[in-house]
Structure 1
Amino acid sequence: MDWVESAGGPLVVMRKENSLDWGGVDTDDYDEACGVSDFAGVISREWGDVLVLGDEPLRTSVIHRGDGVALVRWGAAPDEDCLIKVALGVDLSSMVPSEILKPVHLNGTLVVFDAGAPGGDARRLEFTLTSRVGVVRTYVVNDAEKDVQLILHQLGG
């Protein structure tokens, strides 16, 4: 499984075609991204929305659950397999989201990368959404039995 990390700041998610417009640490882009103190936030640009993964700079990956695409952020786990099993198996319908973020206007081919890097130079994860994201629901998952903590951002309509 591929993961992306930051150098200490937030990660950003945006349309791949717009990523070259992201200026990184030497611009207002990074300053605004760092202003997101919640688990997630949206900043708007003339070329589209940017989903900012705030709070802590955690390793992040993309998973495909039965209920759609989600971003999983590694809080703590004995190993990757254990973390992914919990992320894929958790019943979100029995949980209350820690945050609900809307509206979020993202669709198509998206990239996740370090907000501090210029979009053209950043190490990134790429994934495709077949439908538009309208809402991002954030869940903090703690599985004490498996010693796993993670944040799950469910990308949905």
Structure 2
Amino acid sequence: MDWVESAGGPLLAAPASQLARWEGATDDEGPVETWGDYGRACAVEGYIGLVDIGAGQALVLGDEPATTTYLPDERLFLRWAAADSEAGLVSAARQALHDITWDEEITWDVDGAIVLFDSAWPGATPEPGNHLTIDLAAARYRVSAAYRQDDRNWMILVQLTPVP
């Protein structure tokens, strides 16, 4: 399973069609809000939010700089806050989906494939070995997010559900 890590800020799921329009951190002086596109991603409060990118919008995975993967069968971003093992975390995430109450929800229009990467990097050249390309059908999605924990696994779950 491939995971994407953050250097400390939010991760971004950007439409592949608009990826080159993301400039990442264009400055590292002054308050983070002035750091270009990265500053806009950092301004998102909560687990999820949207920022404009070219002719579309990118999904910001905020709150924690958690290592994240994507489980395609569940259309689920799994964000690793704490766990003893990858297998245990994935199993706990799948189990959590059976009775989850979502904390946040937004609607996101997607035109096809997306790329998950550290928002500090420019989209034209995402960090080698630290990004995922995710094939999504062009659609409107309800994006739902929640924090869950059990005795051994702490995670943030972000699920994409097509809106009919």
TM-score under structure 2 normalisation? 0.86
Equivalent residues in 2 for 1:8-157 (5 A)? 8-26=8-26, 28-65=36-73, 68-92=74-98, 94-102=99-107, 104-123=108-127, 124-144=131-151, 147-157=152-162
Counterpart residue identity of residue 36, structure 2: D
Q: CA deviation at 1:99?
A: 0.7
In 2, Cα distance between equivalents of 1:148 and 1:121:
33
Aligned residues: 151
Q: CA deviation at 1:88?
A: 2.1
In 1, Cα distance between equivalents of 2:125 and 2:18:
13
Deviations 1:78-105 (A, max 9, x none): 011111111223234x221011112x11
TM-score under structure 1 normalisation? 0.89
Percent identity over the alignment is 33
In 2, Cα distance between equivalents of 1:46 and 1:19:
8
CA contact (8 A) 1:10 1:56 kept: yes
Give unpaired runs (5+ residues) of structure 2. 27-34
CA contact (8 A) 1:12 1:114 kept: yes
In 2, Cα distance between equivalents of 1:74 and 1:37:
19
CA contact (8 A) 1:8 1:57 kept: yes
Deviations 1:16-75 (A, max 9, x none): 12111110100521111010121010012342011001101000000034xx31100001
Q: CA deviation at 1:107?
A: 3.9
Please name the residue that 1:3 is paired with: 3
CA contact (8 A) 2:47 2:146 kept: no
| Secondary structure of the structure 2 residue equivalent to 1:86 | helix
In 2, Cα distance between equivalents of 1:96 and 1:84:
18
| Secondary structure of the structure 1 residue equivalent to 2:132 | strand
In 1, Cα distance between equivalents of 2:22 and 2:92:
33
| Secondary structure of the structure 1 residue equivalent to 2:75 | strand
In 2, Cα distance between equivalents of 1:134 and 1:91:
17
| Secondary structure of the structure 1 residue equivalent to 2:135 | strand
Q: CA deviation at 1:156?
A: 1.1
In the TM superposition, structure 1's runs of 4+ consecutive aligned residues that sit over 4 Å from their partners are none
Pair 141,46 (structure 1): closer, same or farther in 2 beyond 3 Å: same
The structure with the greater share of residues assigned to strand is: 1
